[in-house]
């Protein structure tokens, strides 16, 4: 007996779904109806989509599927309510995603890969190896599952979880199209941020495709030599090339870039480092996001608060807009650089 291959609706953009339904003999507007139920109402069961005819719901149930990751574990920080989710994918691989609570918004930190190829010295994800890229529905599924858990709408989406988003570019772009579609999630482009370690060619493509989406650059060093020591990707796209790409990106989009700078004790946290960074970024349309190193089982250490504040003050005095990222989720290994692949099973 031949098994029917179910069609995955949450792996389609609205346009793809409309075309598919039309070619299958259905009305195009069915796509918008399903988009509303799935992405705005968080209803994943076709039988509960009550404005669809009974016959159509039955056909959907027989031929279509909405595949979502399985929630294996949820950890909530008693300190700030940061919530980390461990999701299992259908092939048994796992990913982690995080909800961050702010006074006026909730931010979802999303993964784009199982693991990461880049192996940055300060990041646990790369140390756990790389398995594969996430499919579009696996990226979107993280948001759907987390939104189902909370009464308030997730306000911001940041692609800053496991993996390098620009190394899964096609599925990243497709996910953003679903997120920003008014008949699906309906997020503003400005409510979405993508962080890259500096995949220069994709930065230029992204500038043309999504000029309104916030771009964050994981810089983490004031010069080529130091960046080489902690970020292997720098050998492919050197520091100077990345800085020029940032200038080109701003010229195309007219948008400010967020520069992420992980402060590591006795490595990149001195006044000399701050002066060099200010010299490189001077005149550029950026704001620097300072991140004191989070523990990742390495020999690297976090600098003192006094050192961090001095570094921030030096940049600000020299005309560089700078913010100190408020620490969230460190107690549950949910902070920047702490997400990793975990071995798990259904009984956990």
Q: Is there a single domain that holds both residue 225 and residue 192?
A: yes
For residue 296, the model assigns a pLDDT of 74
Task: Determine whether 336 is an active site residue.
Answer: yes
Q: Is there a single domain that holds both residue 19 and residue 90?
A: no
Q: Which of the following is catalytic: 109, 116, 123, 336? A: 336
Q: Which of the following is catalytic: 16, 22, 96, 229? A: 96
- Pairing between strand 214-218 and 192-196? parallel
Q: Is there a single domain that holds both residue 22 and residue 106?
A: no
What is the length of the chain?
A: 348
User: DSSP letter string over 245-297?
Assistant: HHHHHHHHH--PEEEEEEE-TTTS-SHHHHHHHHHHHTTSSEEEEEEEPPP-S
Residue 338 lies in a domain: no
Q: Is there a single domain that holds both residue 182 and residue 46?
A: no
Q: Is there a single domain that holds both residue 59 and residue 92?
A: no
Residue 214 lies in a domain: yes
Q: Is there a single domain that holds both residue 154 and residue 301?
A: yes
For residue 193, the model assigns a pLDDT of 98
The domain tally of the chain equals 2
* CATH assignment of the domain containing 29: 1.10.150.530
Q: Is there a single domain that holds both residue 50 and residue 83?
A: no
Residue 344 lies in a domain: no
- pLDDT tens digits along 168-207: 999 999 999 999 999 999 999 999 999 999 999 999 999 9
- Global confidence as pTM: 0.92
For residue 284, the model assigns a pLDDT of 97
Residue 293 lies in a domain: yes
Task: Determine whether 109 is an active site residue.
Answer: no
* CATH assignment of the domain containing 193: 3.20.20.70
Q: Is there a single domain that holds both residue 242 and residue 171?
A: yes
CB 73 within 8 A of CB 54: no
- Classify 70 as helix, strand or coil: strand
Residue 140 lies in a domain: yes
Low-confidence ranges of the chain (pLDDT < 50): 1-3, 329, 332, 334-335, 337, 345-348
**Of the residues 65, 96, 111, the one at which a domain ends:** 65
Q: Is there a single domain that holds both residue 124 and residue 237?
A: yes
Q: Is there a single domain that holds both residue 226 and residue 323?
A: yes
For residue 295, the model assigns a pLDDT of 74
By C-alpha distance, which of 345, 283, 267, 275 is closest to 317? Answer: 275
For residue 329, the model assigns a pLDDT of 46
Q: Is there a single domain that holds both residue 50 and residue 182?
A: no
Residue 264 lies in a domain: yes
Q: Is there a single domain that holds both residue 117 and residue 103?
A: yes
| Nearby residues of 293 by Cβ (< 8 Å), 6 or more positions away | 122, 262, 263, 264, 265, 300, 301, 302, 303, 337
**Of the residues 28, 44, 65, the one at which a domain ends:** 65
CB 290 within 8 A of CB 278: no
Instruction: List the domain range (segments joined by +) for residue 100.
Output: 70-332
């Amino acid at each position: 007996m031949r098994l029917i291959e179910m069609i995955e609706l949450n792996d389609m953009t609205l346009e793809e779904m409309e075309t598919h339904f039309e070619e299958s003999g259905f009305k195009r507007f069915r796509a918008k109806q399903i988009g509303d139920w799935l992405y705005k109402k968080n209803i994943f069961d076709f039988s509960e989509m009550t404005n669809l005819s009974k016959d159509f719901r039955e056909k959907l149930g027989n031929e279509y599927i909405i595949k979502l990751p399985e929630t294996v574990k949820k950890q909530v920080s008693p300190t700030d309510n940061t919530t980390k989710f461990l999701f299992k994918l259908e092939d048994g691989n796992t990913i982690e995603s995080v909800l961050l609570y702010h006074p006026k918004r909730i931010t979802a930190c999303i993964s784009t890969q199982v693991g990461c190829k880049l192996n940055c010295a300060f990041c646990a994800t790369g140390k756990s190896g790389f398995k594969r890229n996430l499919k579009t529905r696996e990226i979107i599924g993280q948001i759907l599952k987390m939104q189902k858990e909370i009464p308030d709408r997730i306000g911001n989406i940041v692609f800053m979880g496991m993996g390098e988003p620009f190394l899964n570019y096609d599925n990243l772009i497709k996910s953003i199209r679903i997120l920003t579609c008014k008949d699906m999630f309906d997020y503003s482009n400005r409510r979405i941020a993508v962080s890259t370690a500096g995949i220069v060619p994709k930065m230029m493509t992204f500038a043309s495709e999504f000029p309104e989406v916030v771009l964050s650059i994981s810089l983490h060093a004031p010069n080529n030599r130091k960046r080489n020591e902690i970020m292997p990707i720098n050998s492919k796209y050197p520091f100077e090339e990345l800085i020029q790409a940032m200038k080109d990106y701003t010229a195309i989009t007219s948008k400010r870039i967020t520069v992420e700078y992980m402060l590591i004790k006795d490595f990149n946290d001195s006044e000399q480092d701050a002066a060099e960074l200010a010299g490189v970024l001077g005149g550029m349309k950026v704001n620097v996001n300072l991140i004191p190193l989070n523990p990742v089982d390495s020999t690297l250490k976090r600098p003192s608060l006094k050192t961090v504040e001095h570094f921030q003050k030096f940049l600000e005095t020299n005309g560089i807009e700078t913010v100190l990222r408020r620490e969230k989720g460190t107690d549950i290994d949910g902070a920047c650089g702490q997400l990793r692949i975990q071995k798990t099973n259904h009984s956990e």
